[in-house]
C-alpha cells in the first residue's frame, strides 16, 4: 500500500502524520513499513533522528532507480528513505522500489510539480491532513484540481482533521461541512491537539517512543486501524 501524505497548505501536520501513522501501522501488526521524505526541507528525516546535512543515498537516488537501502530508525520495523535538500525534479518512469514494504508512506512537499503529479498517480491513497478552519476548506478545491491534473480518481482521497478540538464550535462545523461534501472520504478519527506530538520529533522518535499513552498516540492508532480496515475491505471487494 502506497500512501502519499499531501496538502498544498503548509503547517497542517503532514510530517507528524507520516511519522506517527508509520509507527501506528507497526502496532497494528502490518509488517514492514517504509517512510520516504520527498520534501527538500527534510523535516521527516530530522524528525526521525537523522540530522546529517547530506546522505550517500537519498530520496533523489531512490526515485531515479539507483540502488540503495533505507535507514533504520528508533522504531524496529520502521525504515526511512532520507530526504535531500536538492530539489531535483526528475520524473520517475515507474514506481520506485518499495523494499518489500507492506506500507510505503511518502511525506510530500507542499509545492506542486510534475514529478509530484507522477508520484501521486502511483499512490494507492492520497491522505490529506488539514486543520479544521475555513481556509483549509477553501484549499481543498485546489487539491481536487491537482488530483484531476494528475489523473487521480477522487475515491483515493482521504481527509484527516488535525489539531482538532471537539469543544470548539468552529471545529465541529468544519467537520460537519467536510462530511456533507465528501462523505466517506473524511476519516472520523480526527487527530486532537497534543503537545506531545510536537515534542516527539525533538527526540528523534514517534509519539509512541515519547508518550505512548497520550491522546495523540491513541488518535494515530485509530487512524492506522481505520486505514488498514479500509484496505482489507477494498481487497475483498475486488
In the predicted model, is pLDDT for residue 208 greater than 70?
A: yes
Q: What is the mean pLDDT of the chain?
A: 92
Q: How confident is the model at residue 83 (pLDDT cuts 50, 70, 90)?
A: very high
The percent of residues above 70 in pLDDT, for the chain, comes to: 97
How many CB atoms neighbour CB 160 within 10 A?
Answer: 27
Q: Produce one character per residue of 52-66: b if its CB has 16 or more CB atoms within 10 Å, e if not.
A: eeebebbbbbbbeee
50: enclosing H helix or E strand: none
Range of the domain at 31: 2-237
pLDDT at 238: 65
By the 10 Å C-beta count (0-12 exposed, 13-18 middle, 19+ buried), 231 is classed as middle
How many structural domains is the chain composed of?
A: 1
Output the DSSP codes for 170-201: HHHHHHHHHHHHHGGGB-S---B--HHHHHGG
CB 90 within 8 A of CB 60: yes
CB 160 within 8 A of CB 36: no
Q: What is the pTM of this model?
A: 0.95
- What does the block give as the cell for 189? 478519527
Rounded Cα gap, residues 23 and 111, in angstroms: 26
The 10s digit of each residue's pLDDT in 95-128 is 889 999 999 999 999 988 888 999 999 999 999 9
pLDDT at 54: 75
The 10s digit of each residue's pLDDT in 144-194 is 998 998 899 999 999 999 999 999 999 999 999 999 999 999 999 999 999
DSSP 156: G
The percent of residues above 90 in pLDDT, for the chain, comes to: 77
In the predicted model, is pLDDT for residue 236 greater than 70?
A: no
In the predicted model, is pLDDT for residue 61 greater than 80?
A: yes
- The stretch 27-41 carries a mean pLDDT of 95
In the predicted model, is pLDDT for residue 85 greater than 90?
A: no
Residue 31: CATH number of its domain: 3.40.50.300
Amino acid at each position: 500500500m502506497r500512501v502519499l501524505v499531501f496538502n498544498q497548505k503548509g503547517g497542517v501536520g503532514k510530517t507528524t502524520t507520516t511519522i506517527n501513522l508509520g509507527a501506528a501501522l507497526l502496532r497494528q501488526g502490518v509488517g514492514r513499513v517504509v517512510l520516504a521524505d520527498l520534501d527538500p526541507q527534510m523535516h521527516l528525516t530530522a524528525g526521525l533522528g537523522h540530522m546529517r546535512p547530506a546522505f550517500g543515498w537519498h530520496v533523489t537516488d531512490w526515485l531515479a532507480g539507483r540502488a540503495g537501502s533505507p535507514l533504520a530508525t528508533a522504531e524496529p520495523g520502521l525504515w526511512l528513505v532520507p530526504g535531500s535538500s536538492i530539489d531535483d525534479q526528475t520524473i520517475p518512469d515507474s514506481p520506485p522500489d518499495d523494499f518489500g514494504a507492506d506500507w510505503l508512506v511518502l511525506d510530500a512537499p507542499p509545492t506542486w510539480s510534475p514529478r509530484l503529479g507522477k508520484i501521486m498517480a502511483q499512490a494507492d491513497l492520497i491522505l490529506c491532513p488539514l486543520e479544521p478552519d475555513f481556509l483549509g476548506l477553501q484549499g481543498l478545491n485546489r487539491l481536487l484540481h491537482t488530483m484531476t491534473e494528475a489523473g487521480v480518481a477522487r475515491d483515493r482521497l482521504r481527509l484527516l482533521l488535525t489539531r482538532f478540538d471537539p469543544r470548539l464550535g468552529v471545529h465541529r462545523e468544519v467537520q460537519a461541512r467536510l462530511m456533507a461534501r465528501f462523505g466517506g472520504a473524511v476519516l472520523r478519527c480526527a487527530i486532537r491537539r497534543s503537545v506531545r506530538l510536537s515534542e516527539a520529533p525533538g527526540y528523534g522518535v514517534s509519539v509512541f517512543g515519547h508518550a505512548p499513552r497520550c491522546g495523540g498516540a491513541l488518535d494515530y492508532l485509530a487512524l492506522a486501524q481505520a486505514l488498514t480496515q479500509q484496505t482489507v475491505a477494498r481487497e475483498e471487494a475486488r
